[in-house]
């Protein structure tokens, strides 16, 4: 009898234990399913933007018809505007002036480009030296006149335009000849550099002038040469 009571009591105790909830059970397992594409913080891939129309990195060479504005001047652009008033070079300073009506015409372009001709007209040269012989100022003007030689050609010539050049550096060569480098303001169109060489130990030196277009390379660049004799004033 005692044995039967012990078995019954054990059975009741086991049933009560199973009916009591276990407060220490872990949370339900996290689902392995991927999150919704609308979940917070999820960004859908951006749609690629179309390439810009005409966005090729290789641009065709600009025509010599320099009707476009804003072409930069050459490296070493003159910082001061051209002035024909002269400079105060001190006592015993000397000043020479001269010019030519026109340079010889120079043809350029061709190939895939139209063919052109450039002539510099109404060239004036004004040079000032200090008493010790140092060249302290040089100013040059020239009317650039361009023509289109090709027919047909879709481009037009640059309208006649007066160029201004001022001294940037003056160097005395071992031969005694002065080497002068000039540059113009950004308004010169097209942009060009100018180099002058001459012996200013003489009263009326014969000068060699050489202009070179700097805003475009071959075949649209050009080099113009001229000889100008300047006279002591």
Q: What tens digit of pLDDT does each residue of 194-206 get?
A: 999 999 999 999 9
Which residue in 146, 119, 121, 143 sits closest to 63, CA to CA? 146
Q: Is the pLDDT reported for residue 119 higher than 50? A: yes
Domain locations in the chain as residue ranges: 94-232
Query: For 93-128, what is the HEC assignment?
Result: CEEEEEEEEECCCEEEECCCCCEEEEEEEEEEEEEE
CATH number corresponding to 94-232: 2.40.128
pTM, rounded to two decimals: 0.66
Between the alpha carbon of residue 25 and those of residues 18, 21, 228, the distances in Å are: 14, 9, 106
The predicted model gives 36-40 an average pLDDT of 30
What was the pLDDT predicted at 112? Answer: 86
Is residue 200 within 8 A of residue 129, CB to CB? The reply is yes
Q: Is the pLDDT reported for residue 227 higher than 70? A: yes
Distance from C-alpha of 97 to C-alpha of 35, rounded to nearest angstrom: 87
Sequence-distant (≥ 6) Cβ neighbours of residue 107 within 8 angstroms: 115, 116, 117, 149
- Per residue in 74-102, pLDDT (tens digit) is 334 444 445 555 566 677 899 999 999 99
What was the pLDDT predicted at 49? Answer: 29
What was the pLDDT predicted at 41? Answer: 31
- Per residue in 57-76, pLDDT (tens digit) is 223 333 344 332 222 333 34
Distance from C-alpha of 77 to C-alpha of 188, rounded to nearest angstrom: 10
Banded pLDDT at 163 (limits 50, 70, 90): very high
- Average pLDDT of the chain is 74
């Amino acid at each position: 009898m005692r044995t039967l009571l012990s078995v019954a009591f054990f059975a009741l105790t086991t049933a009560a234990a199973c009916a009591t909830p276990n407060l220490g059970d872990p949370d339900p397992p996290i689902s392995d399913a991927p999150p919704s594409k609308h979940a917070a913080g999820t960004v859908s891939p951006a749609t690629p933007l179309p390439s810009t129309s005409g966005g090729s990195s290789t641009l065709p060479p600009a025509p010599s018809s320099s009707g476009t504005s804003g072409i930069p001047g050459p490296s070493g652009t003159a910082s001061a505007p051209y002035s024909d008033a002269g400079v105060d070079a001190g006592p015993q300073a000397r000043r020479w002036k001269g010019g030519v009506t026109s340079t010889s015409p120079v043809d350029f372009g061709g190939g895939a480009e139209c063919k052109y001709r450039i002539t510099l007209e109404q060239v004036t040269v004004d040079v000032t030296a200090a008493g010790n012989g140092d060249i302290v100022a040089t100013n040059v003007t020239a009317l650039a006149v361009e023509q289109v030689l090709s027919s047909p050609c879709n481009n037009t010539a640059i309208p006649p335009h007066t160029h201004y050049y001022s001294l940037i550096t003056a160097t005395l060569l071992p031969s005694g000849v002065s080497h002068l480098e000039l540059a113009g303001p950004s308004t010169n169109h097209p942009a060009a550099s100018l180099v002058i060489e001459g012996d200013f130990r003489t009263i009326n030196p014969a000068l060699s002038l050489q202009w070179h277009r700097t805003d475009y390379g071959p075949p649209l660049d050009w080099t113009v040469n001229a000889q100008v004799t300047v006279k002591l004033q």
